[in-house]
Amino acid sequence: MATIPAIPFRRQRLRSAVRSRLYAFTLLAPAVVAVLLVITYPLIMAGQMSLYDVRVFRIAQGFTGEPSLRNYEDMFTNPAFWRSLRVTLAYVALGTLGSFIVGLCTALLLNQPFRGRFLARILVVLPWPIPGVVAATTFMWMFNSSFGVVNYLLLQLGIISRPVAWFTDSTPALLAVVAATIWKGYPFFTITLLAGMQSIPRELYEAARVDGASAPKQFWHITVPALRSVMGVAMVISTLWLFRVFDIIYVMTGGGPSRATETLAIQIYREAFQYFEMGYASAVGMVTLVLSIVATIIYLRVSSRSFY
């Protein structure tokens, strides 16, 4: 019986492996190039820009002068930056938490069998495809202090004795913006959590029922742990989304009153496109990027433990 020589076979296997890797890299190459062009290059540009005094007026001249941390120094010593940072953290926390709670409640509801569930599912996710500008304009009118439906309802219910000037005081303005954000953002949680709930094996609930576990106990000991990773990913995506929300806030308040709703995204826009300070805006952008990365790491660490 003839034996196949070992070396040529190994060489052949190696050649085949190289060929298949090459093939894979060739297929991946367009995506890699696109990512480099669309994401990495602007990121590097923004990082570089944050080290220079770049103004739109002279952008054609490129970066002039020596690179320095002047923009970062200005930013960290500027009370407006710290205020925007506080507003951003409050906005992201309230928006994410609010969207999560509403999304979880609606997902639990839609996970139950009832007549008209299909229609209810459609209605619940309707805010998701509505453009942010449209949602913001609608909420702006709803919260209008003179003829808004929110004040009307609160007055009729006796919760307030005189109309609330939603957009002239700091806290009401932030709450109004957060309300619009929650309305726009909760369907995302509904969809992802509902999908997660439907993948939980029914046997777990049946076994729990046999053992006499109440509905809240089933929720806390089966549903929540089983959804942990889904919740984590959804939270990350929502947090990243809220860090960069511009349209809702800009349309409703423009960042006011007195910067009470000026998030870092709004500040970046104002610095870059109203005051044309591209260098400073890039520095704020880099800080926002770092914050987003930190938030992502924390969420993923917390939610990485597997239930199954």
141: contact with another protein by CB under 8 A: no
* Beta carbon nearer to another protein, 144 or 218: 144
| ∠ CA 138-292-90, rounded to 5° | 50
All residues at 6 or more sequence positions from 223 whose CB lies less than 8 Å from its CB, including other chains: 108, 197, 200
87 and 260 in contact (C-beta within 8 Å)?
A: yes
Which has the closest alpha carbon to 284: 64, 59, 80?
Answer: 80
Kindly tell me which residue out of 80, 93, 101, 294 binds another protein, with binding defined by CB under 8 A.
80
Residues 76, 125: Cα–Cα separation, whole Å: 40
256: contact with another protein by CB under 8 A: yes
Kindly tell me which residue out of 48, 138, 145, 229 binds another protein, with binding defined by CB under 8 A.
145
Smallest distance, Å, CB 167 to another protein? 5
Kindly tell me which residue out of 253, 263, 288, 303 binds another protein, with binding defined by CB under 8 A.
253
Kindly tell me which residue out of 78, 137, 138, 296 binds another protein, with binding defined by CB under 8 A.
78
Helices 170-198 and 132-142 cross at an angle (nearest 10°) of: 130
Kindly tell me which residue out of 33, 37, 39, 56 binds another protein, with binding defined by CB under 8 A.
56
276: contact with another protein by CB under 8 A: yes
Residues 148-187 as x/- pattern, contact with another protein by CB under 8 A? ---------------x-xxxxxx-----------------
119 and 128 in contact (C-beta within 8 Å)?
A: no
Smallest distance, Å, CB 48 to another protein? 18
Strand partners, 55: 277
Residues 85, 63: Cα–Cα separation, whole Å: 28
**Length in residues, the chain:** 308
Structure tokens at 288: 């926002």
Smallest distance, Å, CB 43 to another protein? 22
Match 């496109």 to its residue by tokens: 273
16-24, 178-186, 255-263, 281-289 -> range binding another protein (CB under 8 A): 255-263
Smallest distance, Å, CB 22 to another protein? 42
* Beta carbon nearer to another protein, 236 or 259: 259
3-state secondary structure of 5: coil
- The binding site for another protein (CB under 8 A) comprises 56-60, 74, 78-80, 144-146, 163, 165-170, 253-259, 270, 273-277
